[in-house]
Amino acid sequence: MTFDISEHPHRRYNPLLDEWILVSPHRTKRPWHGSVENAPRERRARYDPDCYLCPGNIRANGERNPDYESTFVFINDFAAVLPDAPPAPADEHPLFRADSVRGEARVLCFSPRHDLTLAEMSPAEIRLVVDLWAEQTAELGARFQWVQVFENRGDMMGASNPHPHGQIWATDRMGSIAAREDRQQRAYVDRYGASLLLDYAKQERQLGARSVLENDSWLVVVPYWAVWPFETLLLSKSPQQRLPDLDARQRNDLSAILKKLLVKYDNLFETSFPYSMGWHGAPFDGRGNAHWQLHAHFFPPLLRSATVKKFMVGYEMLAEAQRDLTPEAAARRLRACSEEHFTLR
C-alpha cells in the first residue's frame, strides 16, 4: 500500500511541547453509541438578578458589582492562588517535593449583558476585551513572572456561570506547560536561528491546508499536531512577545479575526460552541525572551455534533493523545462555515 496521511494511522510531532499524537483517520466512520450531552439551554435574558457577574448584583463575598457598562475586573472571590502564601518547608525526601506559590486571580467580565458571548459581540466590543487582556497582563506582569489569560466557555468546559467572562491568574512560578513551550522555542532559535512559531506560520500560509482565517496581522490554523477535533492556534504574523506589545492596528485586527473565528465555531454545529482558550506570551522574568512568540490556543471538545464530545481517556491518559478527524479535514469544515452568526439568519 501507498501511505495516505488522510486515511492511514500515523503519529504527528508537536514541536511546541516536544510530544507526539496518534492520528487515526479511518475511525471517523465508526458509529457512536456513547455519551450524549444535554442540548444547549434556552436563550438567556439580558440581565439575571441571580447572576453574581451582572452589573449591580451582590457577589458571594457580599460585595456589590458596580453598574459597569463595558468591561469589569475584580479579584476572584474564590481564588486558586493568593498573594501572601508562606514559603514551603525544605523537602524531606526527593520523592515528596513541594514548593510555595504566590499569585493573584482575577475575573474579567467581557460585557454587562448576561445573554452574550464573545461570538455575539461586535468587533468594537471585542476590542475592549483585547485592551483589558493587555492592560491586566501588563499590570500583573510587573509583580509576577507568569500571567495566564484564559476563558472557559460553556457548561461542557466547566464554566460555573454563563455570563460572558474570562479569568487571569498570575503566579511567581511559570506553569509546567508554559515552561515546556519556553524550552522548545528557545531550543529552536538556538538550532535554526529563527522563531519556531514565525517559521510555522510562514509554512502554514504557504501550504494552506490547515489555515482557517487570516488578516494583515493574524493567522488562525488547525495546528498540524492538534489534539482536540476543532482545535485552533491563533498566531501573530509579526514578532510579538506579549499582549501589551500590540499596537492599535494589531488589536483591531485581533478583534476582527476573533469575531470571525468564534462565529465559525458557533456555526459549525449551530450551537454556542464550548471551548477553553488561553494566551501564551513571554514570561516577566527579566531575562531575554526574544525566542517567545505570542499566540493563543483554542481547545473545543465537540466532535460530531452539539451534543457529542471527544473524551480524553484510556490510550490518551496512558500512552499519548489520539484523534480521529484529521487537522486538514477540521480546517476545511471550519473554512466552509459562514461568518454570519446562525442566530441572525
Q: Are 255 and 261 in contact (CB under 8 A)?
A: no
How is residue 230 written as a grid cell?
476543532
How is residue 185 written as a grid cell?
522555542
In angstroms, what is the C-alpha Rg of the chain?
21
Cα separations (Å) of 7 from 2, 28, 31, 36, 274? 10, 10, 17, 27, 28
Helices (H), the chain: 123-141, 176-192, 196-207, 248-269, 315-318, 327-336
Q: Are strands 19-23 and 211-214 parallel, antiparallel or unpaired?
A: unpaired
Strand order through the sheet with 275-280:
72-75, 103-109, 165-171, 146-153, 275-280, 295-299, 232-236, 218-221, 211-214
Q: At what angle do helices 248-269 and 123-141 cross, to 10 degrees?
A: 120
Other CB atoms closer than 10 Å to residue 63's CB: what's the count? 12
Backbone angles phi and psi of 29, in degrees to 5: -90, -5
* Catalytic residue, candidates 114, 163, 165, 280: 165
Q: Where are the beta strands (DSSP E) in the chain?
A: 10-14, 19-23, 72-75, 103-109, 146-153, 165-171, 211-214, 218-221, 232-236, 275-280, 295-299, 302-305, 308-309, 321-323
Instruction: Identify whether 165 is a catalytic site residue.
Output: yes
Distance CA(341)–CA(268), nearest Å, equals 10
Q: Count, in order, helices (H) and strands (E) of the chain.
A: 6, 14
What are the residue numbers of the active site?
A: 165
